[in-house]
Structure formats: C-alpha cells, structure tokens
Amino acid sequence: MAQRSYNIKDVYKEIFTINDYFEEETNGTLIVKNNYKSIHDYCGSWRDSRKDNCHNYIQLAICGFIYLLKTLKDMPGLEYDKLAEYAILWLIYKLDAAPNKCGIELNEFYTKYIEKNSYYNNIINGYDNMTYKDIINKKKELMNMNISEISKFNTLFYILFFSYYLSHVEYPYCVQFPLYPISFSNKFNELNEDSKNIEGSLYTQILSTLSNDYNNLINKFGNDESCDFPTISPVKTSLSSSIASKLIPGLSTFAIPAFLGISYKTIYKKTIKKSKEENETKYMIRRLTIIPGTIIMIDIC
C-alpha cells in the first residue's frame, strides 16, 4: 500500500460531518439538523444573489459539495485530483441517498450547477490561480459516469467514512458494528469480480482508492482485540475486450507459440553420407517443440 501524504482519517471525518448536516425523510420532508444550520451560509454562495436559504435537497447537496471542496482544499498533502475524487464520491452518495435519487445524472448536475456558476469559476486566493471548477475538472471524467454505475461503490464509501469518523472520536467501533468490516469485504469481492473492473478504467481507480483506505483502516484498529477485519484481495483487473482483440489477431505466426507458452529449440546435427560417386555431408535439423508437460521431437532432413 502506497504511503499517502495526507491524513485520510481527517478526510473522512469531514465527509462524515457534512453528510450528517441534512437528510430527507421518505415523505419528502427536508431536515437540516439544528447544530448545522450554518450550511445555509453556503446556499447563498452558489446563487448570484448571495442570499436566501436552501429550499430543497438538491440545493443542500450543492451547498454540501461547496463546503467539502472548501474544507478539503486546506488539508495538507491532499492533492487536487484526490480532493476532487473524494468530494465527487460524497456527492454521488448523497444524491443517491435521497428517496427519489434526485432524478439527476452527474453530467447534468455539472452542467446546471458547476460549469457556468460564478462561484466555482472564481479564483481561489493563494492556490496558484486555481478555481473550484479546475479542481473538479481533475476528475471530471467521474461526472460523466452513469450515476447508477458509480453508485455501486456507495456501500464501501459509507462504511469507510462512518468507520473513520468513529475511530476519530474513539468510539468502540468493533463492539458496536462488528458486521461492517464483513459487509465491506463481501461487497468489495463482488465489485472486484465485476466485468467493469478493467485495467486503467475509472471503475478500477475508485476500487483501488477504497481498497487502500480499507487496508489503512485495518492498521488503525489492528491492536483492538475486539476487531475482526477480513483481509481483501488485491484489485483484479482484466484487459478490455477491444484491447484483447487488437493484441491476439496481431500476433505473428512466430509470436503465437510464445504467447501460448510453447517454445522451440533447433539442433543442427551433422550427418555424413558416403556413396560410390561422392562423399556428401548434410546437416539434419532436429526441432524440439516444448509444450508445458510435453516434448515433441521432429527431425527435418
């Protein structure tokens, strides 16, 4: 597991915090918890009028997204691409958590609320002329994914930010939630076998991030005898069908045997044939074909 330069525990603490600010009940009632009314301060920030509270779930999701970007950008060692990845993963989780799923795709969200929004396009003081839109664009390809596809990771993401938060407040996590690590392991194994898990894909990148964060969580609870964290296998990847179809037909006749694990060895053996008319020297070619577990010998005169 690669060493990270940022404190992942603090990252997930902030994610848990903003996630706890608001929720929507099944009857559509919007709830902003009393301790977190300050989220409305961010509601004005994304409007041109710079005033008024949020009135629906998606407006609060926008404000929460802004809050998370602003908070994480000040975290030491957290590079812009990872910042964007965590913020977008939270946005996906929060949109999917609404009873009606908000009925919006990520690219539509980006176009409506980010692309032309003056707040996201303002220069952030002291950050190399970066804007929040620039930061988001470090992982803009995530915003182009189908939300039903990327929301497959929500179970893993929730378990991580909930678990890291409890580790932050030193709550007896393993005693109260012993099944969470097991649930993570089971879901991870399912996603690891998914056909979308293709080398170099966004799917694999996200799975790798969450896998690393889980293994780091194991280290944090490693000395707690009440904890039982199943180990998870490394992220599996496969070549895409398009890449495979390009590689295999393109193999030359010479290359195919090597691709299949077949090797050859050619032996030149000197033979001497004598006749009345002349002495003739020939070389017999002996070809050894070695297939795993089998040796075939062919003499070619």
- Where the chain has pLDDT below 50, the residues are 241-301
Parent domain of 192: 170-250
Q: How many domains does the chain have?
A: 3
Beta strands in the chain (DSSP E): 22-24, 30-32, 263-274, 279-291, 294-300
35-71 pLDDT tens trace:
777 777 766 555 555 556 677 888 888 888 988 999 9
pLDDT for residue 269: 46
Which of these three, 144, 162, 191, is where a domain ends? 144
- For residues 209-239, one letter each, b for 16 or more C-beta atoms within 10 angstroms of the residue's C-beta and e for the rest, the string is bbbebbeebeebbeeeeebebeebeebebee
Same domain, 46 and 87: yes
pLDDT for residue 33: 81
In contact, 187 and 156? CB cutoff 8 Å: yes
pLDDT for residue 216: 93
pLDDT for residue 232: 94
Same domain, 274 and 225: no
Helix%, strand%, coil% for the chain, nearest 5: 50, 15, 35
Same domain, 2 and 140: yes
Same domain, 5 and 133: yes
pLDDT for residue 2: 54
Same domain, 90 and 206: no
Question: How far is CA 278 from each of CA 100, 274, 275, 281, 282, rounded to the nearest angstrom?
Answer: 96, 6, 5, 10, 13
Same domain, 132 and 6: yes
* % pLDDT > 90, the chain: 38
CA atoms within 13 A on the CB side of 219: 10
- Residue 135: which of 124, 146, 126 has the closest Cα? 124
Same domain, 200 and 230: yes
Structural domain contains residue 158: no
Residue type, position 288, single letter: L
Structural domain contains residue 163: no
Same domain, 5 and 126: yes
pLDDT for residue 135: 94
